Structure 1
Amino acid sequence: MVHEVDAPSPYRVFTRAQWAAKRADTPMTLTPDEVTKLKSFTDQLSIDEVEAIYLPISRLLSFYVAAQQKLSRASQTFLGATDVKIPFVIGVAGSVAVGKSTTSRVLQALLSRWSNTPKVDLVTTDGFLFPNAYLEREDLMKKKGFPESYDTKSLLRFLADVKAGKRHVKAPIYSHTVYDVVPGGSITVERPDILIVEGLNVLQTGRPPRDGKAIPYVSDYFDFSVFIDAEEDVLEQWYIERFMRLRETAFRDPQSYFRRYAEKTEFEALKTALGFWYGINLVNLRDNILPTRQRAKLILKKDRNHQIESVSLRRV
């Protein structure tokens, strides 16, 4: 009898307990109140989750950052450019409703407590979406969040400037209330030690050109990347739950783009949410987001209770 041999994996997979042990003696630097403030409106996050999952990640990243800083200093000495500070850039990807924002904020808070990385900035790619007027003109409103709905050239220019150590690098901002880019609004990134870039499609690539021309991808500027993962049916449940909770809260804001959904009956709202999930978000997940999962250096797999059940770390 011929026995099938499992295909070699580029990842080492850890159970929750195995990963929690990697914390070693890393001190807990967040209070329960701080943890509560870091989580998104519909996410679940506990001190236990931070201690078991995120403290070991921060410990691992501290090693990566220290090694990069040492290499950067050596490179600057070689090049004679000793005044340039090169940030360590982390990409965080995953589906709608999977908890990317909470993960990014927790990592930002933990990493800023390390002595060699006191300045940690966070930018979301929502600000690099094309304005609604452009999306409507190009018939892309139903593909908002798909790769083609982003001003990728501007995002690449932003990352190139940050990685070049430039000062006063501006990034546009997005309002989830009005569901659009804020005209003239921006945040300034000022040579951080670490920059976290969070977004649906930050690990996206395209077809390489046959003539070999240089076509940079967003992930080319990442030193480390994280993908937040969960099963499709779980993501659907979380998305629907979030939509229905927002219907009772944020959607009631007179300024909200989704104000009209607050007035719908529960049945109508549920039908609308399912339409958004199956017509837009699930399509984006299957066609654009999920195919990039294996490009991440770290994959965090969540269970139905929002807890990380396994951690996959790409082999160095």
Structure 2
Amino acid sequence: MVRRVTTPRKPLRNHGPKLRPLESKRWWIIATVILLPALFLLIQFGYAPFSEVQNQHAVEKAHDDELARNPALLAKTERIWDSSMDGWTWVFPGVVSRKALASTEAILFGRTSVPAGDSEVARNAARRVGGYRTSSHCGTGANNIPVCTPVGRYKVTLTGNRRQKVQIVGIKASVVSQRKPPLGTLLIGPTEGGGPIDAVFIDLDSADKEAVAIDEANNPTDRPFVDVESRWTEEGEPLVFEVMAGTKHQSEYKWKLLVEISYGGKRETIQVPANEGDTFQTVGWKADWPYGARYKADQATHRFVVVDPSSKGHP
């Protein structure tokens, strides 16, 4: 007879009370309704600032990339005239007859339906004859006698095009071409007198062609403008300059403006006008140069009168 030996089983360990179905359901509700949303909020609070910073960096980079497609300064230029000093002086390449100037004279002195004076219609009439209008910058010389230099006078507006401040650290001219000025005919109109103006002056005959400051007597100084005045601009903020570039020689200059700038640890040079084919112009003139014909505007008779070629000095 075989005896079967049985080993007594060890009692199972008690791992804690079993959750009743109702209690299990309650914990599931607590986890889904309270704990999971709380955990989600904690993650959001931690991730949201990081995400916002990343998004802001992406937006700034996209904005910087868009700005970088254009120069750090956006330039707008305009030829301007100061009737107080410029008067109504024109030079012509060829000898112009008195008859050819009749229509311009009639407009300038108001013998037409067009208002008298320096109107665009009068300018167009002179241009049709082939003329170039000139400007002058007049300072105060000895015994308060004006000392005038032919100039090209331009309003130059420079607008910041970077998120950083753009500092102007240098202004000078670059000559594109130089040739003899028109010496066919000189026509000098009246001026109205004037005082000092706030502007920068460039001597195109000089070696460095640096833009210099102007003193209280309206005379160009020997100090670069950027050494006297500090100018910087932020994005979208305009800086306006009146730039005059002059010559005392028998020269007609085509020139550009070179503006050296600094921003964000970088240094660049901006060319104004930006388009390769565009330039500024300065036409030299002087009353005693050998013109083929010379006229002046006579305020008493309201006519252009011929000036004796043998006379010296200003007509």
TM-score (structure 1 length as normaliser):
0.24
Q: RCO (CA 8 Å, sep 6+): is it higher in 1 or 2?
A: 1
TM-score (structure 2 length as normaliser):
0.24
